Amino acid sequence: MPVLASHRKPRSTRPHSPAVGVTTAAIASVTLLSTQSAQAAPAAPPRPRVEEIQKKVDDLYRQAGTATQEYNRAKEATDRQRRKVDRLLDDVAQRTDAINESRRALGSYAAAQYRTGAVGPTAALIFADNPQSYFDQTHLMARLSERQHSAVADYEGKRAAAAKQRAEATKSLESLTESQATLRTSKQTVQRKLAEARTLLARLTAEEKARLAELERKREAEARRKAEERAKAEAAAEAAAKAAEAERRRQEEAATGQQPEPPATGGSTDSTYAAKAEKTLAFARAQIGKPYVWGATGPSSYDCSGLTQAAWKAAGVELPRTTWDQVKVGTRIATADLLPGDLVFFYDDISHVGLYIGGGKMIHAPKPGADVREESIYYMPIYGSVRPA
């Protein structure tokens, strides 16, 4: 039986090299694109060192301190302006009552004039029931006319004075609005700076936090070392002064053969200041452990200038509210001449203040998150010092 031929077309065999070439080209394209993407992607910024973060946080707290003083000044101005506005508005109200009284008096005169003004004097005499009553009425109206002129003058004077007070009150209200706007801006600045500081600290890893704590310990240790050196120097100076006084007394006794007068304990001014400073520091020590709160003046919390103001007030000395005004009070003192009770100011912008207690230390309200405490005055850069009384 003959073999039938197949009707299917023979399968053609194609070379495989083109497929391999396409695959290779695709891989190369992907590789090239990946390389280009990698090159195009911006490199992540290097993570700042802990020392840089510490400096940034310190700067933010200092800026928040400056903004706090701005807030304190604006709040003081706002309170002062509000009191002035209230006073002026009370005065305007009183003057308005006086004007209304004058207006009522004028109304009664106008009504009387209306009732009699339509009839002439001759007709009034003719139609009068009694001529004597007419003359009496005419005399009364003449007197009323004089009082009316006086009432008109009084009314005009009171109305002009009230208008002046009203204009002053309006101007004061505008100033109050400006002070309130400054107050809001300062408050927002403080909150923003503190939020930035908290954000920076929250992003730290556990290792970075440990490193930051170590840096802080070293900083505090260095500040304590300087304070201890200052305390030793003060003690040595005091001992030398006592020794010199004792030697002077011995020589005087040897020369005269008489017991010399006891040494003076200081002038009345020095003793008065020491007494006030003692009261001031007693108050400040009683506040140790209370929290720093920006804008606070006590009694449960304080900012730096709020604490110094309250402490010296306990000794009967009124200080201004802000560090910028407190630094202008009293007598400027060199750091080497500090006495307990003196005010020590910090940073070039004078944004912080503490109460010197002796031995290179102070009591101050440090910053948000910290409590009132004793600390070395060398913990921050010193701007200058003041003896306020």
Measured CA to CA, the distance from residue 190 to residue 349 in angstroms comes to 16
Catalytic residue, chosen from 7, 139, 149, 304, is 304
From residue 90, give the alpha-carbon distance in Å to each of 156, 165, 173, 178, 271.
20, 10, 14, 22, 47
Is the bond preceding residue 299 a cis peptide, omega within 30 degrees?
yes
Catalytic residue, chosen from 7, 139, 149, 352, is 352
Handedness of CA 246, 336, 327, 367 (dihedral sign): negative
The 8-class DSSP code of residue 384 comes to: E
- Residue 5 identity: A
Measured CA to CA, the distance from residue 142 to residue 119 in angstroms comes to 15
Measured CA to CA, the distance from residue 344 to residue 353 in angstroms comes to 6
Contact partners, residue 277, CB within 8 Å, separation at least 6: 315, 339, 340, 341, 342, 389
Measured CA to CA, the distance from residue 81 to residue 93 in angstroms comes to 18
Measured CA to CA, the distance from residue 123 to residue 379 in angstroms comes to 101
Contact partners, residue 193, CB within 8 Å, separation at least 6: 60, 61, 63, 64, 67
Reply yes or no on whether 304 is catalytic: yes
CB-based contact 314:373 (threshold 8 Å): no
Reply yes or no on whether 149 is catalytic: no
Catalytic residue, chosen from 7, 16, 149, 364, is 364
**Which residues are catalytic, by number?**
304, 352, 364
